[in-house]
Each structure stands twice: as C-alpha cells, then as structure tokens.
Structure 1
C-alpha cells in the first residue's frame, strides 16, 4: 500500500511535504536548533502514544525524511495499519539533531492527524463489516493535506473517492439545478466525456427515486449517489437499481446510523466526518 500510494501520488505528496516544510522553516531554518547544536551533532528520539488507535503516517514520515531529512533514519516499531495502545513505542528517529528538531512538529502533527483518521475509518468499517459495503472519504479535507488524509483513510480500511475535481466527474445538486435539470446535465456530461482522450468515472448525485430512474436510462454512469435519503428510501432505490449500476449512500451518515445504510445493500457509504471530524491521537516525541 505505501509504495503504491507514493508511486501513484508522488507529485501530490511532494507538494504537500515541501509546502509544509516551507511553512515552518521558510528559507532561514530553525534558529533555535542552529543556535544550540552544531551540524555534526546527533541524537535519538522515540515517538510514544498517549492514546489508543490505528497507526498511520509511518511511510509518510519516511517520505518526508527522504526529501528533507537525509541525515535522519526512521526505525519503525509499529507498522501503518496496526492497532496500538496508550504508552506504545511507535518508531525511533536517529541522526542529525538539527533536522530532528526542525521536522519534529510536522512529523508529530502528521502522524497524530493521520492516525486519528485511520482509527475512525477503521471504526466505521468495523460497524459495517457484516455487509459488503465499504466506507468512502470525500473532499472535506484539510487544504494542502488532502493527500495524507486520504492515505490515512486507505490505511484504516476505507476506500478513496476522487482525489479532486480533476480525476472524476460528480454531478451534484447545484450542477443539476444551475443546468436546468438532470436529463440536460447528463446529455452535456456524456458529450464532454466522449470527447476526452482518457475517460474518467461519472458519478451522479440523486435526491429522489425519480432522479434514480433517469440515471437508469443512462447505464454508462459509473455510480449513483443516493443523497440525503433515509435508509428506507435508500433500500427502495437499491431495489430499483437492481445491481445495474454501483450505488453509494451519502449525507448525514454517522457512526450511529452507518450500519442501517450499509444494510440497505448499497455498495458504498461516504462520510466526510472520517476526515473533517476525526479526533487526533495524542503522541509525543521524546529524547532517548
């Protein structure tokens, strides 16, 4: 998973990491560390959990060090995707003291955030594990950290929705209303996609069974979203679709009702909360 994610999204990861380092160090670097430690000073630190969770961010931090911490080695104790408990030792950092200290906050922030997302995603997926349904993320992510947050979803057992507006078409309510109706919007979308050199998925948001029926007349659609429907309405829509087009339930889905939606027979449930509302897992980087 880690190597494939880096291979597929290398440019996005580079942008994320480089911008974060610039934000903290600018062109001047870490004045405090440079004032105290010479360039040849080495140290060792350990990352310790102050709460329970599913670890995510080890491979991300290794990528950070490859780009900005060549004098520091990361030695994992717990792997990405593995559950840990309060007090667990997660990994060691060893090498140039200035580099460890200058990247400390970015590394700890990243692992805390990613582990919180992976933990919540895992919890959701466990709630619906008795079904074939999978949890999807959304674009409700932190600016400039989306790629890491979506990586954390994948580590936690979820499935990534589109990464941005560029890799899939999702026809939503405002598109439909601004255009003057679902049928006209689909006609324009089909013409646009047919003219593309490389086809991309077309996913359509529906608000009622009438719009579902319109989608069924367009079997080239990649997925139908059942948006803000109740579990009962979703079950009726799934029955009408009858497996002809993959389905996704979306809107006001949380830990309390996600199993109800999964049991309707949808292929996916999407939850913005697994990224925007995931609590961080408290971690501490300590000198050894």
Structure 2
C-alpha cells in the first residue's frame, strides 16, 4: 500500500472534552465486558503479578487507536508503563510492534479485548479511508464521511477517518442542515423544505450551513431557482449527468457527489470537478485489521 502521510494537521489535538468522552467510553466498555469481575484471571493469576505485553501487527494498513489503548491501560492500572513504538496514522506492516506495556497481569487481561477491538476497528476504518484518499490525492476534492457509524462510537470512527486522510462531515443532526429526499417528500417539495429552514432560522435566531440533496436535474433546477443553500448534493448521478449538473451550478454553490461511491468510481467522479464526495463506506464497510496483544516471556 502506497501512502502519503495524511496525519498531522488534519488530526485534531486531544482536547479535554475528547479525553472525557474517551474515558466515558472506556469505563462503559469495561463495565460491559468485565461486569462484576474477570473471574478467570482472578482464579488463575496471583493478584500481585506483573507482565509485559506487546501489541503485534498481523496486517498491512494504517495504525489507529494507540492513544486510546494508552488511556485504557491508565484506567485499569495507574502504575502501567506504556512504551509507544508507533503513532496513530503510521503505516504498519506484518510483524511491527505498536507498543509495549508493563502492568498488573489481571489488569492486562481485563484491558486486552477492549484495546484490540477498538484498535482493530479504528485501523480498518483508517486504512479504508486512506485508500479512498489516495485515489484522489492529486485533485482538489475532499472525501467526506457520513453518519453511517456504529451507535455511540461515532467520535472514535470519525477520528479514524481523519487518521486515514479523509474528512469529517457533520457530527450529527445538530451541526448542519441537510435536506434529503425524505425531508422533501414530507415537506411537499424542495421549495417548501428550503423555505421552512429559512423560517426556522429566523424564528430561532440560528444559522447553520445548508446542504440540499437533489435526485435529478429537475430538482436541481428548482434549487437553483429558490437558492438560500450552501451546498448541493448530487445523489446517485451518473457521470455524464453529473457533469451537466455542475455546468448548471457553475460555481454558485458548493457541490457534493454521493451515493454508491466505490474505490473504482471515485476518481472518475472527482475528475468532474465536484468539490466534495461523501462515502458512507468509510465507516459502514471497513473491515477490522488483525492485531494481537501477546505477553512477552
């Protein structure tokens, strides 16, 4: 896998708010997995034992989740000694070691599955995101994720998208207006939906960026006549029709292509000159990568 170093400025610095969200995630995940106790470890391992383990890479891709792994070990054993050998966003190969950790043996086994599940999932998303980003890295288009994420894990999965070199779209229903087909059908028309947003903003003294989805050129013409939007999402447009739509828009609004975008089609779509391409597959179709945590003897 060829990879440009996408990490760095595109990856948000750990803020206190993010740290608290991660700690909440860790504590809830441990409660789910450990429950009243890890009885197997309590029955077989002396309470004072300590061991050193290594995170072994068994796949090729983009590493993600090291920062969370470090925090997991801090939670289960405040005396844990964590030696980081690789960073989030690094390209990894079979046989690489991402980190070593020395801690209480029972705590190590308590943390093992949470660390692996999280890192494998994040690394899979980062790797797939990197493949999409690589396909269009020489073009000005931005590849966006969507809300098609695992419930309660969106902030982690979107973090992995950034590590892979793609970009986050909206975090939820609250930080951007996105008028889609169901909104239009329920409102009665695109015009009614857009005017409804205008009224809502005025009544609530609000302002958010507005994306409107169109399904064909007829709907596009209606949006161009009404205006009052920031971005037009061209959903499931075949390339010739997409080019025609972009010609009609003529740079007056941001443009976004969406719907069934794959690694095989993304470059052709990007070459039309669209500003953004949203890809649900970044999160809903990513395959977890193979990692293991092994005690060093």
**TM value normalised by structure 2:** 0.89
1:1-288 correspondence to structure 2 within 5 Å: 4-7=13-16, 9-10=18-19, 12-26=21-35, 28-196=36-204, 198-217=206-225, 219-288=227-296
How far the C-alpha of 1:7 sits from its partner, in A, is 4.1
State the alpha-carbon separation in 2 of the partners of residues 229 and 50 from structure 1.
39
State the alpha-carbon separation in 2 of the partners of residues 171 and 50 from structure 1.
43
State the alpha-carbon separation in 1 of the partners of residues 20 and 250 from structure 2.
39
SS in structure 1 opposite 2:149? coil
State the alpha-carbon separation in 1 of the partners of residues 17 and 232 from structure 2.
26
Structural RMSD (CA): 2.0
> Structure 1: which 5+ residue stretches go unaligned?
none
User: Residues 17 and 6 (structure 1 numbering): CA distance in 2 closer, same or farther, change over 3 Å?
Assistant: farther
SS in structure 2 opposite 1:4? coil
> Structure 2: which 5+ residue stretches go unaligned?
1-9
**TM value normalised by structure 1:** 0.92
How far the C-alpha of 1:29 sits from its partner, in A, is 2.4
User: Residues 44 and 17 (structure 1 numbering): CA distance in 2 closer, same or farther, change over 3 Å?
Assistant: same
Compare 66-75 and 45-54 and name the one that shifted more. 66-75
Compare 206-215 and 221-230 and name the one that shifted more. 206-215
State the alpha-carbon separation in 2 of the partners of residues 2 and 30 from structure 1.
35
Give the count of matched residue pairs.
287
